[in-house]
Amino acid sequence: MIIDTSTTIAYKCSSCGAFQFTNVSLFEMSNKKESCFTCRCNGSSLVIAKEGPTDYRIVIPCIGCGTDHIYLFSRRELMACEMSVLNCPKTGMQQCFIGSDEDVRKQIDSLEKEFDELINMLGYDNYFVNTQVMFDSLNIIHDIAEKGNLFCECGNNDIELLLLSDKIYLRCKKCPANKIIYASSNEHLKNNLQTKQILLLDEGQPLDIKAMEPLMKKRDGK
Ligand SMILES: [Zn+2]
Ligand SMILES: [Zn+2]
Ligand SMILES: [Zn+2]
């Protein structure tokens, strides 16, 4: 019988937003006080430190809220068959997956598939200032809309969504109210993650959509 003592960790880099894979051998880790895994962008690292003879402490810098989250795992938990999903306690953003290589890759593949579908739908990759932030922000708005928390001050929730290279433009279909969601930096993503509801207001300044050259129109909400 062969027992696989390695586990795969995928964490969302707090700097570039991409998932970074690491395969760790528990055997190796048990000989080290601390193991550090840096994203290929060099912008962030996940640190696993030994905490007693059979426990480990995992520290992950969070893209969602900007702080570090600490998770404690026993060796048994790290080797468990079930995949662990670590969510930011403040924003709920999925920031790390731990489990068998197969499970973790499947999970990330499905996340990346959604991402690729968006890129394919748009036809090209370089339109957005930060494609990852745009993608995550769209998902956030989608979740907010799904919970019924995206609406206009006029009471309408039939909202039109337009994508620009650096922002998402929401406008009411029944009145001039609108709202801009910025989505070009991780700072924006952090703000968007903290948004629980979006209310469109008519501030008497309808934006000149033609001058902004929207890339695409998409209906959202019901
Ligand atoms: Zn990175
Ligand atoms: Zn967080
Ligand atoms: Zn309205």
**Burial of residue 139 (number of CB atoms within 10 Å: 0-12, 13-18, 19+):** middle
Q: Report the chain's mean pLDDT, rounded to a whole number.
A: 85
Distance 28 CA to ligand 1 centre (A): 24
Task: Say what percent of the chain tops pLDDT 90.
Answer: 44
128-177 residue pLDDT tens? 888 888 888 998 998 899 889 999 999 998 899 988 889 999 999 999 99
| 220, pLDDT greater than 50 | no
CA 127 – CA 135 distance, rounded (Å): 12
Q: Give the residue with greater pLDDT, 111 vs 178.
A: 178
What integer pLDDT is reported at residue 37 of this predicted model? Answer: 94
Band of pLDDT at residue 119, cut at 50, 70 and 90: confident
Rounded average pLDDT over 203-212: 64
SS3 104: helix
Distance 194 CA to ligand 3 centre (A): 23
In sequence order, what DSSP letters do the residues of 13-69 get, joined into one string? Answer: -TTT--EEEEEEEHHHHTT-SEEEEE-TTSS-EEEEEE-SSSEEEEEEE-TTTSSEE
**Burial of residue 49 (number of CB atoms within 10 Å: 0-12, 13-18, 19+):** middle
Distance 171 CA to ligand 3 centre (A): 8
Distance 37 CA to ligand 1 centre (A): 11
The candidate with the shortest Cα–Cα distance to 168, out of 128, 122, 124, is 128
What integer pLDDT is reported at residue 217 of this predicted model? Answer: 47
Under 8 Å between Cβ of 189 and 133: yes
Distance 44 CA to ligand 1 centre (A): 6
Under 8 Å between Cβ of 202 and 186: no
Distance 151 CA to ligand 3 centre (A): 8
- Smallest-distance ligand from the CA of 186: 1
What integer pLDDT is reported at residue 25 of this predicted model? Answer: 85
Distance 119 CA to ligand 1 centre (A): 20
Give the environment of ion ligand 1: residues with CB less than 5 A. 13, 15-16, 39, 41, 43
59-93 residue pLDDT tens? 999 988 889 999 999 988 888 778 999 999 888 88
What integer pLDDT is reported at residue 3 of this predicted model? Answer: 66
The candidate with the shortest Cα–Cα distance to 78, out of 98, 106, 92, 59, is 98
Distance 63 CA to ligand 2 centre (A): 7
Instruction: List all residues 6 or more positions away from 94 whose beta carbon is below 8 Å from its beta carbon.
Output: 12, 85, 86, 87
What integer pLDDT is reported at residue 221 of this predicted model? Answer: 41
Under 8 Å between Cβ of 12 and 69: no
| 219, pLDDT greater than 60 | no
SS3 4: coil
Give the environment of ion ligand 2: residues with CB less than 5 A. 62, 64-65, 88, 90
pTM: 0.70
- Smallest-distance ligand from the CA of 156: 3
- Smallest-distance ligand from the CA of 15: 1
What integer pLDDT is reported at residue 27 of this predicted model? Answer: 78
Distance 137 CA to ligand 3 centre (A): 22
- Smallest-distance ligand from the CA of 12: 1
